[in-house]
Amino acid sequence: MRPGPRNLITDVAGFRVGNAADAGLRSGVTVLTAAAPFAAAVHVMGGAPGTRETDLLAPDKMVQAVDALVLSGGSAFGLGACDGVMAGLRAAGRGFEIGPVRVPIVPGAIVFDLLNGGDKDWRSNPYPALGEAAFGAASDSFSIGSHGAGTGAMTALLKGGLGSASAVLDTGHTVGALVVVNALGSATVGEGRQFWAAPWELADEFGGLGLPPDFPAAQEPAPGKRLGEATTIAILATDAALDKPALQRMATAAHDGMARALVPSHTPFDGDLIFAASTGAKPLTDPAADPFRLGHAAASVLARAIARGVFAAEPAAGDLQPCWSGRHGRPTI
């Protein structure tokens, strides 16, 4: 595997990502969309998820494609971001056609960032407007770190953030990841600068630091947040022609990448969730072996994206946690 040209999920041709954030709120929204509806599935392993429209992604449900996927801060309030994305899609004439009407299909998931120091004393929910703005900003180029839904993200020890990475397989298929890292666990080993995801790093994308000389060190992690305050949510995308059952299997495999990059992960405190999406542009070269390769790639790419999200986080006035660059030197992305 090698990184795609941008090392972003948008290396999967056809997908676009938009970010919107409010600095005072210390929160934001990130949207993945495409010019045409795309197949999607989901798999949840955390104990405290917050979701919208995920039931329809099950393989046996009628709707076979979605118009966008939303990752948002704001806990349950952030699910309102999907309303704003729906408004943008409706204005563009997009949506599931039922007679003379169209209903945009927009599943979403949220992280809890309500206790990160931002101003949460709003009268009207700000997330629908942020969702519409993120949809309007969708492009094949976007910023990671303290942007979009990663704006107010935190982890056990360091600021979290929005991460992304990609890989091009020998089969010619591309896999990309987009993730909001707001975990109970830590992306770095102990209090050092090395990332748990180091064995899967490509091209020194988060510093090329490797693992500590004394790895594995004894770890007895303790919760740094309370029930429901955490969560890492992600989207895995590919151009491989996968249907909903195959995408659900890819999302399931990708959870291995979350466990590689965050210690601990999938706790009762986290709402860890992964969407998987496909444009279907490239047929499988080997229907027996390709799903295996794609699942492995999904896990590896997600581990890298998680580390990149923490690595790229930027300091801001009023931060409750240091960012990786502030503690260990500026990132070199």
Task: Give 14-75 as a 3 state SS string.
Answer: CEEEEEEEECCCCEEEEEEEEEEEEEEEEEECCCCCCEECCHHHCCCCCCCCEEEEEEECCH
Beta carbons of 152 and 26 less than 8 angstroms apart: yes
pLDDT of residue 223: 59
- Bond from prior residue into 216 cis (ω within 30 degrees of 0): yes
Sign of CA dihedral 235, 241, 246, 249: negative
pLDDT of residue 316: 92
Which domains does the chain carry? 2-328 (3.60.70.12)
Reported confidence tier of residue 301, pLDDT bands at 50, 70, 90:
very high
User: Half-sphere exposure (CA, 13 Å, Cβ side) for 8?
Assistant: 18
pTM score over 0.75? yes
> What stretches of 110-216 show up as alpha helix (H) in DSSP?
127-136
Question: To which H or E segment does residue 161 belong?
Answer: strand 161-168
Pick from 215, 199, 260, 24: nearest CA to 121: 24
Q: What is the mean pLDDT of residues 309-320?
A: 94
pLDDT of residue 225: 61
Beta-carbon contacts of residue 92 (< 8 Å; ≥ 6 apart):
none
List % helix, strand, coil for the chain (3-state, nearest 5): 25, 25, 50
C-alpha distances out from residue 322 to 69, 159, 255, 310, 332, Å: 30, 6, 27, 11, 17
pLDDT digits (tens, 9 = 90+) for 86-143: 999 999 999 998 899 999 999 999 999 999 999 999 999 999 999 999 999 999 999 9
3-state secondary structure of 325: helix
Question: Using CB atoms within 10 A of its CB, is residue 136 exposed (0-12), middle (13-18) or buried (19+)?
Answer: middle
Reported confidence tier of residue 43, pLDDT bands at 50, 70, 90:
very high
Q: What is the largest CA-CA distance in the chain?
A: 65
Strand 96-98 versus strand 101-103 pairing type: antiparallel
Integer-rounded Cα radius of gyration of the chain? 18
User: Half-sphere exposure (CA, 13 Å, Cβ side) for 311?
Assistant: 26
Question: For residues 261 and 304, what is the distance between their CA atoms, to the nearest angstrom?
Answer: 8
